């Protein structure tokens, strides 16, 4: 015989009592312990898992009257009739709001009966009560889901904002302290931080796929993918790129964009619209995006002779795969992709800005 299992338990209620039907055949009651607040049982019989030992425990929603409660066995079930201590409708059977897969509603016995009501009216009241309970549970679950989503998005955007604020602060402070020498040490000073933030930014491609945000996945894929290619496949691979002053300008440009973008999303996740941040979000990209594309393109051009020299990421024939790949050629192609992708990204931002603020013509007409 297998270990102890849970039987299917069907429950119903009247104004003054609870009914339980345990779905077991050829059953023997091993133990029944009924108190005001709890029912503990164990049986041996034939249920959904065949002939086995079955048991379950329930903590009642409200106290019950143990003296006037009864239990009986039939050929097909064990039936409890448990008196409530007060004549009142219970919104659920158990003390805690939990979903027990083995506990089912017995609709045949889920009715409210009193001396003045007909059976039809009682059944109607029971159905209405069940619907109200279901609606309440759905609303509560929906609110919890929205709260969890908003909390997660707010926290993610806040942490990213803090990360990029740290990068801008360190780069600016050292530039003021050391002058142009600080530009050659930009990656040394904040390399780990920018790599962490850009790795975390991959989540922005996943968020729309999971339905956490309403925007599409293409725009963040282009931005995050392009940045990570520059950062991890180029700058990280050669110290000569890391000490190039253009890296300082690129990290400052990226970070300045994010110091505007993340607070915008942070407040949007909780339904707030800070007008200055909103205006900056849809305006600051006009100078910053072209600068970012310029600096990224500069790094790609600088890296081509370095990868020609090192041969890193290139695959030459003969080899077992019978396939050749020359990474510098890919970088030449990527310059074209960078230009076209940058234009597409700026068109996308222009479209969002136009949608948010309207065109100049419409603003003049409105004036």
Please indicate whether residue 113 is annotated as part of the active site. Answer: no
Work out whether the CA dihedral 367, 363, 285, 203 comes out positive or negative: positive
E strand segments, the chain: 9-13, 17-22, 25-34, 38-47, 50-59, 64-73, 78-84, 103-110
Angstrom distances, CA of residue 50 to CA of 75, 78, 194, 268, 319: 15, 16, 60, 55, 61
Q: Write the burial class of residue 161 (CB in 10 Å: 0-12 exposed, 13-18 middle, 19+ buried).
A: buried
With vertex at residue 290, the alpha carbon angle to CA 285 and CA 292, rounded to the nearest 5 degrees, is 90
Question: In what side-by-side order are the strands of the sheet with 103-110?
Answer: 64-73, 78-84, 17-22, 9-13, 103-110
Catalytic residue among 289, 308, 326, 334: 289
Please indicate whether residue 135 is annotated as part of the active site. Answer: no
Catalytic residue among 44, 296, 308, 326: 296
Whether the Cβ atoms of residue 59 and residue 94 lie closer than 8 Å to each other: yes
Contacts of 106 (CB under 8 A, 6+ apart): 10, 11, 12, 19, 21
**Centroid of chain to Cα 289:** 29
Whether the Cβ atoms of residue 314 and residue 326 lie closer than 8 Å to each other: yes
With vertex at residue 246, the alpha carbon angle to CA 244 and CA 248, rounded to the nearest 5 degrees, is 90
Buried b (16+ CB within 10 A) or exposed e, 141-158: eeeeeeeebeeebbebbe
Interatomic CA distance for residues 13 and 87, integer angstroms: 11
Residues serving a catalytic function are 289, 296
């Amino acid at each position: 015989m297998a270990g102890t299992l849970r039987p299917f338990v069907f429950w119903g209620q009247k104004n003054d009592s609870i009914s339980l039907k345990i779905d077991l055949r050829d059953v023997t009651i091993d133990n029944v312990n009924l108190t005001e607040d709890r029912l503990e049982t164990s049986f041996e019989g034939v249920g959904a898992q065949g002939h086995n030992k079955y048991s379950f425990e329930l903590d009642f929603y409200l106290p019950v009257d143990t003296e006037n409660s009864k239990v009986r066995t039939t050929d097909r079930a064990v039936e409890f009739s448990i008196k409530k201590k007060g004549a009142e409708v219970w919104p659920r059977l158990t003390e805690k709001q939990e979903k027990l897969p083995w506990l089912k509603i017995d609709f045949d016995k889920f009715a409210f009966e009193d001396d003045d009501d007909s059976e039809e009216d009682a059944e109607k009241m029971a159905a209405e009560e069940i619907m109200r309970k279901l609606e309440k549970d759905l609303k509560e679950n929906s609110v919890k889901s929205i709260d969890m989503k908003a909390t997660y998005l707010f926290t993610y955007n806040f942490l990213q904002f803090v990360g990029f604020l740290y990068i801008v602060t360190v780069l600016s402070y050292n530039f003021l302290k050391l002058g142009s020498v600080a530009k050659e040490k930009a990656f040394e000073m904040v390399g780990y931080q920018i790599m962490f933030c850009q790795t975390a930014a991959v989540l922005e491609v996943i968020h729309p796929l999971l339905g956490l945000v309403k925007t599409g996945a293409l725009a963040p894929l282009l931005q995050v993918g392009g940045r990570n290619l520059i950062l991890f496949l180029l700058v990280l691979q050669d110290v000569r790129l890391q000490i190039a002053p253009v890296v300082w300008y690129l990290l400052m440009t990226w970070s300045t964009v994010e110091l505007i973008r993340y607070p915008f999303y942070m407040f949007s996740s909780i339904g707030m619209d800070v007008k200055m941040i909103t205006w900056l979000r849809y305006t600051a990209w006009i100078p910053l995006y072209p600068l970012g594309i310029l600096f990224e393109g500069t790094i790609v051009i600088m890296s081509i002779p370095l990868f020609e020299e090192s041969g890193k990421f290139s695959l030459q024939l003969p080899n077992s795969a019978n396939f050749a790949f020359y990474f510098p050629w890919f970088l030449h192609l990527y310059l074209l992709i960078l230009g076209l992708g940058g234009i597409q990204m700026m068109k996308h931002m222009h479209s969002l800005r136009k949608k948010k603020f309207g065109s100049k013509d419409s603003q003049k007409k409105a004036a």
